[in-house]
Chains A and B, each alone.
Chain A
Amino acid sequence: MLEEILLKVSRIDAFHGTFQALWDVTLTINPGEIVAIVGANGAGKSTLLDTISGLVHPSRGSIEFEEKDISALEPYKIVDLGISQTPEGRRVFPDMTVLENLIVGSYNRRARSLRERNLQRVYQLFPLLKERKAQLAKTLSGGQQQMLAIGRSLMSNPKLMVLDEMSLGLAPLIVDELYKVLREIRQKGITILFVEQNVRRSLLEASKAYIMESGRVVLSGNASALREEERIKKAYFGA
């Protein structure tokens, strides 16, 4: 019996100008999963996310979301379909307030009518954002901006949330909080794909993982199985 597939990336190549950033990359995400893409800097993880979001178009291969080919679509159409990326470095709109950032998050047609409901959901997950709703985003700390960025993604009513280096530059305690929220988001039926450099942490949180090196997927599978895998232990945990 065929398992339902939410996102299917098939054998894509992607370039930054003349530099090939992705080589023959394949990945599959099923509804309700929490999937990690792990690897060092420059492994191509961000490019993969940008390709999924339509900011980069693959030169070969295809990307299908809910069985619809999205590889040639403009980024705003992909948001309309239900994929929302929380970008690396948060990228909150600095001169807008917390509330304005969240409202912009509900810009796409599907999300506008659900704005109030989603806003209450975000406030319930991140009470801090409710407290500081009139505060300018650029005055928030790194951790608070990350919460805002995640909240903003949630406002778009996504089916798949994609997070690029969520824990970058944040204290471990805050990272713990964020992963806790991700688990709650997953309970609400939203599928999660996240990119991380911290291999050990990723394999603890994810159900499935893809290990990338130099633009290729070198290993993939069930997260707990990967944790035991000798190659991983040697390469990333220094066993």
Chain B
Amino acid sequence: MTIFDGLATPIVMGILLGGLYAVVALGLSLVFGVVREINIAHGDLVILGSYFGYTAMTVFGIDPILSLLIGMPVLFGIGFAIQKYLLNRAFRISMDAVLIIAFGLSIILENIFLKVWSPMSRGLTTPYALKSLSLGSVRFPLVYLLDFLAAIVVMVLLREFLRRTYLGMAIRAAAQDRKAAHLMGINTDRVYAFTFAISMAIAAIGGVFLGLTFPFTPVSGMPFLIIALGVVVLGGLGSIAGTFVGGIVFGLAQTVGGHFFGLAAQMLVAYTMVLVVLALIPRGIFGR
């Protein structure tokens, strides 16, 4: 018996779970990298995606992943409106104004969730959400694999969009040099609105997969915001690859830490690791 016995399962689970964390964190990373806003309502917006999937499942009998066909455009539109009418204006006032408004948005969302869906813990309990897979001696929930696959798809699509479309290039340009972007004829207000909208569409995806993986409540936004912040800060703000790697490192720290120190210590180990990595590499793993 060595300490490495039974490590295979936590490692596999950590990597797969990291995919979920990466998707949840990606919108936050994108908005910070491009618009330079720390959207502290991000966690709640992801949970909005979870509740959207929940309603689709329980009221309309639609599979939550399928409901994303509607959920994504809806959250895209909401995100566009939030940035265009609320946050663009707040940004002109000050950075603090943005944080305060995001905080207000967070409180409003949590109270809407409480009223509409009650404090009861919910989950997207589809038939496949309860299945497990075995690979040799490793056993893990099927949804963890779905989370990981979703992460890969989202990241590849986002990367291609940023590389191949004019809007994608405008987003990258605005992130790298705002004044120069203005001089290229880029309407940064519009670009920011689209960036936030894209971040919300990704949050919709994150929300559904989160709901498939964990139970959630009206106040689940905050813990996932903190995870997302940890992931983003680990991987380097504004980097897609960094967010992915950050997610996996976070997931691994959590599951492997839980394996060695017990379930109660999972998150403690994960956050301690974030601090340690930051102390050694202040810009994050892929940070600029």
Check B177 against A93 for contact (C-beta < 8 Å): yes
* Complex CA–CA separation, A93 to B186 (angstroms): 13
B176 within 8 A of A: yes
8 Å CB contact of B184 from A79, A94, A95:
A79
Q: Interface code B170-193, partner A: CB below 8 Å = 1, 0 otherwise?
A: 101100110110111111100000
Q: Interface code A75-103, partner B: CB below 8 Å = 1, 0 otherwise?
A: 11001100011010001111110001001
A residues less than 8 Å from B183 (CB atoms): 53, 55, 75, 79, 84-85, 87, 91
* Complex CA–CA separation, A13 to B172 (angstroms): 34
Check A76 against B185 for contact (C-beta < 8 Å): yes
B residues less than 8 Å from A92 (CB atoms): 180
By size class, the interface of chain A is: 20 to 34
A169 shortest CB reach to chain B, Å: 17
B281 within 8 A of A: no
By size class, the interface of chain B is: 10 to 19
Which positions 103-118 of chain A face chain B at CB distance < 8 Å? 103-105, 107-108, 111-112
A-B contact count (CB 8 A): 64
B288 within 8 A of A: yes
A155 shortest CB reach to chain B, Å: 9
A74 within 8 A of B: yes
Check A108 against B169 for contact (C-beta < 8 Å): no
Q: Looking at B182, B186, B188, which has the most chain A CB atoms within 10 Å of its CB?
A: B182
- Across the A-B interface, the 8 shortest Cβ-Cβ residue pairs: A79-B185, A108-B185, A91-B180, A75-B182, A76-B187, A93-B176, A76-B185, A107-B184
- In the complex, given contacts A76-B182, A156-B185, what are 6 additional A-B residue pairs having Cβ atoms less than 8 angstroms apart? A55-B182, A79-B183, A104-B173, A111-B185, A112-B166, A152-B184
Binding site for B on A (CB under 8 A): 53-55, 74-76, 79-80, 84-85, 87, 91-96, 100, 103-105, 107-108, 111-112, 152, 156
